[in-house]
Structure 1
Amino acid sequence: MPANARKDHPISMRLPESDLALIDRAARLRGRSRTDFVREAAVLTAEEVLMDQRLIRLDPEAFAEFMSIISAPATVVPEIVEIARHRAPWDNRDDEG
């Protein structure tokens, strides 16, 4: 590759002014440029999509064990039940609603 060849590839997009204002506000809060913010958000989203599509291969015995585990009845976890009984600290709504 020649010494002056760029390794970056530009992406151009058209956005409504409201989207751009939202992106700029979030980028400022993170102390990032618009380009860095959008690039990071796009890369993170792409990674999430690809991770959701990951293929997991199991031999027949492992698959049977996996199926028996996910098919079994749920187990009650008392600590989680206790947490679920309490109102979230940020939820100030009245019970009467």
Structure 2
Amino acid sequence: MSDAAKRKDYPVSMRLPEADLAIIDRAARLRGRSRTDFVREAAMQAAEEVVLQTLPIRMSPEGFQAFMDVLSEPAQPVSAMVEALKRPAPWEISGSDER
């Protein structure tokens, strides 16, 4: 049996605008990857994310009850977030008031 008959890879062909291809090539070079490896990895990550978003979450009745108990508790302030929300936004600070 020839190598071609044993091969389990399947070609994928795309037509892309030059600008898209340029940014893909640039990103691939920055990662030290080939265009094919970069596009394959990006496509697999996107596909896995979609699949994981559609999977049901399974847990035991006890685990579900514990989860619901935590959700039912009153909200507690997170001190770091409270402090961050008290500070003015960067666009609200004038040049002389920067900290």
Normalised to the residue count of structure 2, the TM-score between the two structures is 0.70
Counting matched residue pairs gives 92
Mark the runs of 5 or more structure 1 residues left unpaired by the alignment.
none
1:95 matched to 2:93? The reply is: yes
* Structure with higher helix content: 2
Q: What RMSD, in angstroms, separates the aligned Cα atoms of the two structures?
A: 2.5
Report the CA distance between 1:82 and its aligned residue.
Answer: 2.6
Whole-angstrom CA distance in 2 between matches of 1:65 and 1:94:
42
Mark the runs of 5 or more structure 2 residues left unpaired by the alignment.
none
Aligned pairs for 1:14-93 (under 5 A) are: 14-58=15-59, 62-85=63-86, 93=91
Cα 1:17–1:76 change in 2 (3 A) is: same
Report the CA distance between 1:67 and its aligned residue.
Answer: 3.7
Q: Which has the larger radius of gyration?
A: 2
Cα 1:40–1:87 change in 2 (3 A) is: farther
Normalised to the residue count of structure 1, the TM-score between the two structures is 0.71
Report the CA distance between 1:81 and its aligned residue.
Answer: 2.2
Report the CA distance between 1:50 and its aligned residue.
Answer: 1.3
Runs of 4+ in 1 over 2 A off after TM superposition: 57-74, 79-88, 93-97
Q: Deviations over 1:48-96 (max 9, x none)?
A: 11111120134556545534533544321112323444579xx6x5625
Q: Deviations over 1:15-72 (max 9, x none)?
A: 1111000100000100110000000000011111111112013455654553453354
Q: Percent identity?
A: 56
- For 2:52, the aligned partner's letter is M
